Protein backbone atom coordinates (compact mmCIF):
# COMPACT_ATOMS: atom_id res chain seq x y z
CA UNK A 1 0.00 0.00 0.00
CA UNK A 2 1.20 3.51 -0.85
CA UNK A 3 0.15 6.40 1.40
CA UNK A 4 0.59 10.11 0.76
CA UNK A 5 1.33 11.79 4.08
CA UNK A 6 2.35 15.17 5.44
CA UNK A 7 4.70 15.56 8.41
CA UNK A 8 3.86 18.50 10.66
CA UNK A 9 4.66 19.78 14.15
CA UNK A 10 3.17 22.25 16.60
CA UNK A 11 5.57 23.44 19.32
CA UNK A 12 7.56 20.21 18.83
CA UNK A 13 4.51 17.94 19.13
CA UNK A 14 4.86 16.10 15.80
CA UNK A 15 2.29 14.45 13.56
CA UNK A 16 1.77 12.45 10.42
CA UNK A 17 -1.34 13.85 8.71
CA UNK A 18 -3.38 11.73 6.29
CA UNK A 19 -6.12 12.91 3.94
CA UNK A 20 -8.99 10.43 3.76
CA UNK A 21 -11.62 12.84 2.49
CA UNK A 22 -11.84 11.07 -0.86
CA UNK A 23 -11.66 7.45 0.24
CA UNK A 24 -12.71 5.39 3.28
CA UNK A 25 -10.25 5.23 6.14
CA UNK A 26 -8.97 1.65 6.23
CA UNK A 27 -5.86 1.56 8.42
CA UNK A 28 -5.81 -0.69 11.48
CA UNK A 29 -4.02 -0.08 14.79
CA UNK A 30 -1.00 -2.15 13.73
CA UNK A 31 -0.51 -0.08 10.58
CA UNK A 32 -0.96 3.18 12.47
CA UNK A 33 1.55 2.07 15.10
CA UNK A 34 4.00 1.21 12.35
CA UNK A 35 3.62 4.65 10.75
CA UNK A 36 4.31 6.30 14.13
CA UNK A 37 7.38 4.16 14.81
CA UNK A 38 10.47 6.38 14.76
CA UNK A 39 12.76 3.54 13.64
CA UNK A 40 10.71 1.56 11.15
CA UNK A 41 8.09 4.12 10.09
CA UNK A 42 7.76 7.84 9.52
CA UNK A 43 7.81 8.60 13.24
CA UNK A 44 5.44 10.87 15.16
CA UNK A 45 3.61 11.44 18.44
CA UNK A 46 0.21 11.12 16.79
CA UNK A 47 -1.29 10.22 13.42
CA UNK A 48 -3.99 12.71 12.41
CA UNK A 49 -6.68 11.70 9.94
CA UNK A 50 -8.84 14.14 7.96
CA UNK A 51 -12.22 12.72 6.93
CA UNK A 52 -15.52 14.00 5.63
CA UNK A 53 -17.84 14.92 8.51
CA UNK A 54 -20.71 12.78 9.73
CA UNK A 55 -22.41 15.85 11.22
CA UNK A 56 -23.80 18.05 8.41
CA UNK A 57 -23.02 21.14 10.52
CA UNK A 58 -19.29 20.31 10.57
CA UNK A 59 -16.69 20.86 7.86
CA UNK A 60 -14.45 17.90 8.68
CA UNK A 61 -14.01 14.93 10.97
CA UNK A 62 -10.69 14.97 12.83
CA UNK A 63 -9.40 11.67 14.19
CA UNK A 64 -6.35 11.30 16.43
CA UNK A 65 -4.35 8.11 16.89
CA UNK A 66 -1.55 7.91 19.44
CA UNK A 67 1.77 6.25 18.68
CA UNK A 68 0.44 2.96 20.07
CA UNK A 69 -2.30 2.94 17.42
CA UNK A 70 -5.11 3.76 19.85
CA UNK A 71 -7.67 6.42 18.98
CA UNK A 72 -8.08 9.32 21.43
CA UNK A 73 -10.50 12.18 21.91
CA UNK A 74 -8.51 15.37 21.48
CA UNK A 75 -5.16 16.93 20.58
CA UNK A 76 -4.76 20.70 20.75
CA UNK A 77 -1.47 21.10 18.89
CA UNK A 78 -2.77 18.67 16.28
CA UNK A 79 -5.87 20.81 15.79
CA UNK A 80 -3.67 23.79 14.94
CA UNK A 81 -1.79 21.73 12.37
CA UNK A 82 -5.10 20.37 11.09
CA UNK A 83 -6.23 23.85 10.00
CA UNK A 84 -2.95 24.53 8.22
CA UNK A 85 -3.22 21.18 6.46
CA UNK A 86 -6.75 21.59 5.10
CA UNK A 87 -5.85 25.05 3.79
CA UNK A 88 -2.57 23.92 2.22
CA UNK A 89 -4.32 20.98 0.54
CA UNK A 90 -7.10 23.19 -0.79
CA UNK A 91 -9.74 21.28 1.17
CA UNK A 92 -11.22 24.47 2.60
CA UNK A 93 -10.84 28.21 2.13
CA UNK A 94 -12.66 29.04 5.37
CA UNK A 95 -10.69 30.87 8.02
CA UNK A 96 -12.65 29.18 10.79
CA UNK A 97 -13.82 25.60 10.45
CA UNK A 98 -16.07 23.35 12.51
CA UNK A 99 -14.38 20.04 13.22
CA UNK A 100 -15.80 16.83 14.73
CA UNK A 101 -13.61 14.99 17.24
CA UNK A 102 -14.27 12.17 19.68
CA UNK A 103 -14.10 14.82 22.41
CA UNK A 104 -16.69 17.07 20.77
CA UNK A 105 -16.79 19.80 18.14
CA UNK A 106 -14.01 22.39 18.04
CA UNK A 107 -13.62 25.51 15.92
CA UNK A 108 -9.98 26.20 15.06
CA UNK A 109 -9.34 29.42 13.18
CA UNK A 110 -6.56 30.47 10.81
CA UNK A 111 -5.70 34.09 11.50
CA UNK A 112 -4.67 36.58 8.83
CA UNK A 113 -1.04 36.45 9.98
CA UNK A 114 -0.90 32.68 9.43
CA UNK A 115 -1.18 31.74 13.07
CA UNK A 116 -3.93 29.47 14.38
CA UNK A 117 -6.30 29.83 17.33
CA UNK A 118 -8.12 26.90 18.88
CA UNK A 119 -10.82 27.41 21.50
CA UNK A 120 -10.40 24.21 23.50
CA UNK A 121 -13.93 24.23 24.88
CA UNK A 122 -15.15 24.10 28.45
CA UNK A 123 -13.10 21.80 30.73
CA UNK A 124 -14.71 19.50 33.25
CA UNK A 125 -14.81 20.79 36.84
CA UNK A 126 -11.35 20.04 38.32
CA UNK A 127 -11.30 17.42 41.08
CA UNK A 128 -8.40 16.98 43.51
CA UNK A 129 -7.73 13.37 44.53
CA UNK A 130 -5.04 11.39 46.29
CA UNK A 131 -3.84 8.26 44.48
CA UNK A 132 -1.37 5.56 45.39
CA UNK A 133 1.11 5.21 42.54
CA UNK A 134 4.07 2.85 42.83
CA UNK A 135 3.64 2.75 46.59
CA UNK A 136 3.64 6.53 46.92
CA UNK A 137 0.63 8.74 47.59
CA UNK A 138 0.22 11.52 45.05
CA UNK A 139 -2.12 14.49 45.02
CA UNK A 140 -3.40 15.11 41.50
CA UNK A 141 -5.97 17.39 39.93
CA UNK A 142 -8.15 15.48 37.49
CA UNK A 143 -9.61 17.53 34.63
CA UNK A 144 -10.81 16.78 31.13
CA UNK A 145 -10.20 18.96 28.10
CA UNK A 146 -12.17 16.49 26.01
CA UNK A 147 -9.41 14.04 26.96
CA UNK A 148 -8.41 13.12 30.53
CA UNK A 149 -5.54 14.69 32.47
CA UNK A 150 -4.11 14.15 35.95
CA UNK A 151 -1.97 17.15 36.91
CA UNK A 152 0.37 17.22 39.89
CA UNK A 153 2.50 20.06 41.21
CA UNK A 154 6.24 19.41 41.38
CA UNK A 155 9.13 21.46 42.71
CA UNK A 156 11.26 21.06 39.59
CA UNK A 157 9.73 19.97 36.28
CA UNK A 158 13.14 19.11 34.87
CA UNK A 159 13.72 16.60 37.69
CA UNK A 160 10.15 15.24 37.79
CA UNK A 161 9.81 11.43 37.45
CA UNK A 162 7.94 11.73 34.14
CA UNK A 163 9.32 8.64 32.43
CA UNK A 164 9.55 6.56 35.63
CA UNK A 165 6.16 7.39 37.12
CA UNK A 166 4.20 8.56 34.08
CA UNK A 167 3.43 5.06 32.70
CA UNK A 168 2.15 3.91 36.11
CA UNK A 169 -0.10 6.95 36.48
CA UNK A 170 -1.30 6.57 32.89
CA UNK A 171 -2.53 3.03 33.56
CA UNK A 172 -3.74 3.54 37.15
CA UNK A 173 -7.00 1.74 37.97
CA UNK A 174 -8.65 5.13 38.63
CA UNK A 175 -8.55 5.75 34.88
CA UNK A 176 -10.13 2.88 32.92
CA UNK A 177 -9.36 4.66 29.61
CA UNK A 178 -5.92 5.72 30.82
CA UNK A 179 -4.87 9.31 31.46
CA UNK A 180 -2.33 11.95 30.44
CA UNK A 181 0.01 12.71 33.34
CA UNK A 182 1.05 16.34 33.79
CA UNK A 183 3.93 17.57 35.96
CA UNK A 184 3.52 21.28 36.65
CA UNK A 185 6.14 23.53 38.24
CA UNK A 186 4.95 26.95 39.41
CA UNK A 187 7.21 29.73 38.15
CA UNK A 188 5.06 32.47 39.64
CA UNK A 189 1.41 33.37 39.86
CA UNK A 190 1.09 33.61 36.08
CA UNK A 191 3.66 31.18 34.67
CA UNK A 192 4.40 27.46 34.81
CA UNK A 193 6.84 24.90 33.45
CA UNK A 194 5.19 21.68 32.33
CA UNK A 195 6.08 18.18 31.23
CA UNK A 196 3.47 15.69 30.07
CA UNK A 197 3.47 11.92 29.75
CA UNK A 198 0.85 11.33 27.05
CA UNK A 199 -1.10 8.11 27.16
CA UNK A 200 -0.22 5.80 24.33
CA UNK A 201 2.73 7.96 23.26
CA UNK A 202 5.04 8.75 26.18
CA UNK A 203 6.62 12.10 26.95
CA UNK A 204 6.20 14.66 24.18
CA UNK A 205 7.90 18.00 23.62
CA UNK A 206 4.60 19.77 24.18
CA UNK A 207 0.94 18.99 24.81
CA UNK A 208 -1.72 21.59 24.04
CA UNK A 209 -4.55 20.03 26.04
CA UNK A 210 -2.06 19.27 28.82
CA UNK A 211 -1.08 22.94 29.03
CA UNK A 212 -4.74 23.99 29.19
CA UNK A 213 -5.48 21.36 31.84
CA UNK A 214 -2.52 22.47 33.96
CA UNK A 215 -3.60 26.11 33.92
CA UNK A 216 -7.21 25.18 34.73
CA UNK A 217 -5.96 23.03 37.62
CA UNK A 218 -3.64 25.76 38.91
CA UNK A 219 -6.38 28.40 38.90
CA UNK A 220 -8.90 26.04 40.51
CA UNK A 221 -6.48 25.29 43.35
CA UNK A 222 -5.60 28.94 43.91
CA UNK A 223 -2.01 28.42 42.80
CA UNK A 224 -2.26 30.60 39.71
CA UNK A 225 -3.97 33.94 39.24
CA UNK A 226 -6.96 33.87 36.98
CA UNK A 227 -7.03 36.70 34.42
CA UNK A 228 -8.36 39.92 35.92
CA UNK A 229 -11.31 39.94 33.56
CA UNK A 230 -12.65 36.70 35.07
CA UNK A 231 -13.34 38.35 38.42
CA UNK A 232 -14.85 41.32 36.61
CA UNK A 233 -17.04 39.00 34.55
CA UNK A 234 -18.49 37.52 37.73
CA UNK A 235 -19.40 40.98 39.02
CA UNK A 236 -20.96 41.93 35.71
CA UNK A 237 -22.87 38.67 35.56
CA UNK A 238 -24.44 39.27 38.98
CA UNK A 239 -25.39 42.83 38.05
CA UNK A 240 -26.88 41.89 34.70
CA UNK A 241 -28.82 38.99 36.21
CA UNK A 242 -30.48 41.49 38.53
CA UNK A 243 -31.41 43.54 35.45
CA UNK A 244 -32.78 40.54 33.58
CA UNK A 245 -29.88 40.39 31.13
CA UNK A 246 -27.25 37.72 30.65
CA UNK A 247 -23.47 37.85 30.40
CA UNK A 248 -22.02 35.42 27.88
CA UNK A 249 -18.48 34.46 28.80
CA UNK A 250 -18.19 31.49 26.48
CA UNK A 251 -16.01 33.26 23.95
CA UNK A 252 -12.32 33.30 24.82
CA UNK A 253 -12.59 33.33 28.59
CA UNK A 254 -10.53 31.38 31.14
CA UNK A 255 -13.17 28.64 31.06
CA UNK A 256 -12.41 28.14 27.38
CA UNK A 257 -8.61 28.00 27.28
CA UNK A 258 -6.92 29.03 24.07
CA UNK A 259 -3.69 27.34 23.06
CA UNK A 260 -0.92 29.18 21.32
CA UNK A 261 2.45 28.30 19.87
CA UNK A 262 4.53 28.75 16.71
CA UNK A 263 1.37 27.72 14.81
CA UNK A 264 -0.19 30.00 17.35
CA UNK A 265 -2.65 32.80 17.62
CA UNK A 266 -3.18 36.28 18.87
CA UNK A 267 -6.23 38.30 19.85
CA UNK A 268 -9.26 37.68 17.63
CA UNK A 269 -10.34 40.32 15.16
CA UNK A 270 -13.71 41.81 14.28
CA UNK A 271 -14.90 38.68 12.47
CA UNK A 272 -15.01 36.73 15.74
CA UNK A 273 -17.28 39.33 17.31
CA UNK A 274 -19.60 39.41 14.32
CA UNK A 275 -19.82 35.61 14.49
CA UNK A 276 -20.42 35.70 18.25
CA UNK A 277 -23.09 38.34 17.88
CA UNK A 278 -24.79 36.28 15.18
CA UNK A 279 -24.57 33.09 17.27
CA UNK A 280 -26.32 34.81 20.17
CA UNK A 281 -28.67 36.95 18.07
CA UNK A 282 -27.13 39.99 19.71
CA UNK A 283 -28.24 43.26 18.18
CA UNK A 284 -25.17 45.45 18.24
CA UNK A 285 -27.31 48.56 17.78
CA UNK A 286 -29.11 47.77 21.04
CA UNK A 287 -26.17 47.07 23.29
CA UNK A 288 -24.17 49.01 25.81
CA UNK A 289 -20.53 49.72 25.14
CA UNK A 290 -18.25 50.11 28.16
CA UNK A 291 -14.90 49.11 29.52
CA UNK A 292 -11.90 47.27 28.17
CA UNK A 293 -10.85 43.77 27.06
CA UNK A 294 -14.25 43.06 25.50
CA UNK A 295 -13.02 39.88 23.86
CA UNK A 296 -12.60 38.19 27.20
CA UNK A 297 -16.02 38.89 28.58
CA UNK A 298 -18.81 38.98 26.01
CA UNK A 299 -19.36 38.69 22.26
CA UNK A 300 -18.72 42.09 20.72
CA UNK A 301 -17.79 43.97 17.59
CA UNK A 302 -14.62 46.08 17.72
CA UNK A 303 -16.49 49.33 17.11
CA UNK A 304 -13.54 51.58 17.80
CA UNK A 305 -11.39 51.85 20.91
CA UNK A 306 -11.58 48.83 23.20
CA UNK A 307 -14.47 47.96 25.45
CA UNK A 308 -16.95 45.46 26.80
CA UNK A 309 -20.17 45.14 24.88
CA UNK A 310 -23.01 44.54 27.32
CA UNK A 311 -26.22 42.98 26.01
CA UNK A 312 -29.03 45.52 25.92
CA UNK A 313 -30.55 46.13 29.36
CA UNK A 314 -34.37 46.10 29.28
CA UNK A 315 -35.93 49.53 29.56
CA UNK A 316 -32.87 51.46 28.42
CA UNK A 317 -33.03 52.58 24.81
CA UNK A 318 -29.82 54.06 23.36
CA UNK A 319 -30.52 56.90 20.97
CA UNK A 320 -28.15 55.52 18.32
CA UNK A 321 -25.45 52.87 18.15
CA UNK A 322 -22.16 54.02 19.59
CA UNK A 323 -23.07 57.67 20.14
CA UNK A 324 -23.50 57.57 23.91
CA UNK A 325 -21.53 54.46 24.72
CA UNK A 326 -18.73 55.60 27.03
CA UNK A 327 -15.39 53.82 26.67
CA UNK A 328 -13.14 53.65 29.71
CA UNK A 329 -9.54 52.51 29.76
CA UNK A 330 -9.70 49.46 32.01
CA UNK A 331 -12.10 46.91 33.39
CA UNK A 332 -12.09 48.16 36.95
CA UNK A 333 -13.22 51.60 35.79
CA UNK A 334 -15.99 49.99 33.74
CA UNK A 335 -17.15 47.97 36.74
CA UNK A 336 -17.06 51.06 38.96
CA UNK A 337 -19.34 52.86 36.53
CA UNK A 338 -21.78 49.98 36.29
CA UNK A 339 -21.87 49.09 39.97
CA UNK A 340 -22.08 52.66 41.23
CA UNK A 341 -24.59 54.06 38.76
CA UNK A 342 -26.30 50.86 37.52
CA UNK A 343 -27.03 51.50 33.85
CA UNK A 344 -28.54 55.04 34.00
CA UNK A 345 -25.00 56.35 33.56
CA UNK A 346 -24.95 54.61 30.20
CA UNK A 347 -28.08 56.26 28.82
Catalytic, 75? Answer yes
Q: Which long-range contacts (CB under 8 A, 24 or more apart) does 25-29 make?
A: 25/49, 25/51, 25/63, 28/69, 29/65, 29/68, 29/69, 29/70
Pairing of strands 104-106, 99-101: antiparallel
Cα(25)–Cα(33) distance, integer angstroms = 15
Closest by CA to 291, choosing from 257, 326, 264, is 326
Catalytic member of 44, 75, 253, 263: 75
Cα(176)–Cα(181) distance, integer angstroms = 14
Q: What angle do CA 158, 163, 169 make, to 5 degrees?
A: 110
Catalytic member of 44, 207, 253, 263: 207
Positions annotated as catalytic residues are 75, 207
Amino acid sequence: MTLVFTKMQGAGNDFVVLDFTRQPFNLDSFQLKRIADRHFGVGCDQVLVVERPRDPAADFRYRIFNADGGEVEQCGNGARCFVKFVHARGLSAKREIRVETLGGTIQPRLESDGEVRVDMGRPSPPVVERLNVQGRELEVTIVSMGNPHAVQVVQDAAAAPVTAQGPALETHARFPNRVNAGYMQLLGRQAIALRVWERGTGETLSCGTGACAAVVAGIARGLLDEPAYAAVARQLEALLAAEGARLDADYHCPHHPDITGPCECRKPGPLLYRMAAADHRLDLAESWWVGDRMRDVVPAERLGGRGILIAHLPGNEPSSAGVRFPVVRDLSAAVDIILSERAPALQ
